Amino acid sequence: MDRGAASVVTVVDMRWQDERLTALDVDEVFGVFEAARLADGREGAGGLPSFLTGPGPHLVATESGRTVGYLHLDTAGDSFGNQVAELVVHPAARQRGLGSAMVRALLDRVGDAKLRVWAHGDHPGAAALAASHGFERVRELLRMRWEVGQLPEPVWRPGVTVRTFVPGADEAAVIEVNRRAFSWHPEQGALTVADLERTEAEPWFDPAGFFLAVDAEDRVLGFHWTKVHREREPLGEVYVVGVDPDAQGGGLGKALTLVGLHHLREAGLRRVMLYVESDNTPAVAVYTKLGFGLWDADVQYAR
């Protein structure tokens, strides 16, 4: 949810598209995201949001033939039955009521369905827009950053070794650990084997940066999936760290985090980021002790 306004804006066209966006629409909408990111001083990974090239519905707002606003509604939603929306307004079109008009169109579209809307960067303007339409803050996703420095070596408890992911062989085992580790999470816990296989086809996927902690029988106990963003200055990411609940304790999560950080540092990355739920106190504590500091936060609002 981007910043909105209270006054009236004249919009030449505001249309829902249930089909995929055209390549031209994708380029224009991405330009709106980039303009908003730069205006708001939001550093980081950037890149093309995955939902831009996926199925709709998409709401595209244009003024004088120029795209000035965009909203995506994920009707499949999260694991808890919420439809999930993202919206952005071009900085040049803010403070003229476009954000409010798009939210009203969204509410008309979803009716009585459960709905959550993301506000990236936790801007006061987004909070005001949310409040004006009856939304409340329900979730905070922290973005933390680590400037590459000294790292301790990972310590593995007896009987545990680490190896890298083998495409075509490890998907089911990783997804089962992920399901158990993230049963509480609205997005991550719903990951399927098919989702993982699709991600393996992405240009950024690298099995050499996907680490599995296994026991003597090669049973997967936990994993650390790293990612490298190369859209601008290369930026590493602690993409997902998951540990089977039956294998928790004894520092396995910390060891997995460290092996991934060593990999990213040895690959030449100078900065590493991660996302973590603000109420996941144990994880936040581990990352803080490793030298991660708060970068910014994303907030989810719900009716």
Q: What is the pTM of this model?
A: 0.83
Q: Does residue 91 sit in the same domain as residue 128? A: yes
Average pLDDT, the chain: 90
Residue 194 lies in a domain: yes
Antiparallel, parallel or unpaired: β 83-89 and 115-120 = parallel
The number of beta carbons lying within 10 Å of the beta carbon of residue 207 is 13
CA distances to 77, 102, 118 from 129, rounded to whole Å, are 22, 11, 12
> How far apart, in whole angstroms, are the C-alpha atoms of residue 12 and residue 39?
24
The number of beta carbons lying within 10 Å of the beta carbon of residue 127 is 17
114 annotated as belonging to a binding site for a ligand:
no
Per-residue pLDDT at 10: 52
Q: Residues near 159 by Cβ (< 8 Å), separated by ≥ 6? A: 215, 216
Residue 207 lies in a domain: yes
159 annotated as belonging to a binding site for a ligand:
no
DSSP state of 131: H
Which residue, 114, 134, 154, sits at the end of a domain? 134
Which residue, 134, 154, 176, sits at the end of a domain? 134
Q: Does residue 122 sit in the same domain as residue 164? A: no
Residue 59 lies in a domain: yes
Q: Does residue 50 sit in the same domain as residue 119? A: yes
242 annotated as belonging to a binding site for a ligand:
yes
Per-residue pLDDT at 3: 55
Q: Residues near 251 by Cβ (< 8 Å), separated by ≥ 6? A: 155, 157
In contact, 132 and 3? CB cutoff 8 Å? no
250 annotated as belonging to a binding site for a ligand:
yes
3-state secondary structure of 122: coil
252 annotated as belonging to a binding site for a ligand:
yes
> How far apart, in whole angstroms, are the C-alpha atoms of residue 202 and residue 238?
17
Q: Starting at the edge strand that comes first in sequence, how are the strands of the sheet with 136-147 ordered?
A: 13-17, 58-63, 66-74, 83-89, 115-120, 293-302, 136-147, 271-277, 235-243, 220-229, 210-214, 161-164
- pLDDT below 70 — which residues of the chain? 1-12, 44-47
Per-residue pLDDT at 7: 45
**Tokens (6 digits) for 240:** 């997902």
241 annotated as belonging to a binding site for a ligand:
yes
In contact, 63 and 16? CB cutoff 8 Å? no
Q: Does residue 158 sit in the same domain as residue 292? A: yes
Residue 120 lies in a domain: yes
Q: Does residue 94 sit in the same domain as residue 176? A: no
Q: Does residue 156 sit in the same domain as residue 266? A: yes
CATH number of the domain encompassing residue 99:
3.40.630.30
251 annotated as belonging to a binding site for a ligand:
yes
107 annotated as belonging to a binding site for a ligand:
no
Name the residue among 56, 35, 54 with its Cα closest to residue 106.
56
Residue 4 lies in a domain: no
Residue 301 lies in a domain: no
> How far apart, in whole angstroms, are the C-alpha atoms of residue 290 and residue 151?
8
Q: Which domain range does residue 123 map to?
A: 13-134
In contact, 226 and 239? CB cutoff 8 Å? yes
243 annotated as belonging to a binding site for a ligand:
yes
89 annotated as belonging to a binding site for a ligand:
yes
Residue type at 82 in one-letter notation: N
> How far apart, in whole angstroms, are the C-alpha atoms of residue 206 and residue 228?
9
In contact, 228 and 235? CB cutoff 8 Å? yes
Q: Does residue 287 sit in the same domain as residue 189? A: yes
Residue 288 lies in a domain: yes
Q: Does residue 29 sit in the same domain as residue 69? A: yes
DSSP letters along 243-301, please?
E-GGG-STTHHHHHHHHHHHHHHHTT-SEEEEEEETT-HHHHHHHHHTT-EEEEEEEEE
Q: Does residue 156 sit in the same domain as residue 278? A: yes
Residue 122 lies in a domain: yes
User: What is the rounded end-to-end Cα distance, in angstroms, of the chain?
Assistant: 13
Which residue, 134, 161, 178, sits at the end of a domain? 134
Q: Does residue 83 sit in the same domain as residue 125? A: yes
Per-residue pLDDT at 5: 45
In the chain, the number of structural domains is 2
Q: Does residue 120 sit in the same domain as residue 253? A: no
Q: Does residue 155 sit in the same domain as residue 84? A: no
275 annotated as belonging to a binding site for a ligand:
yes
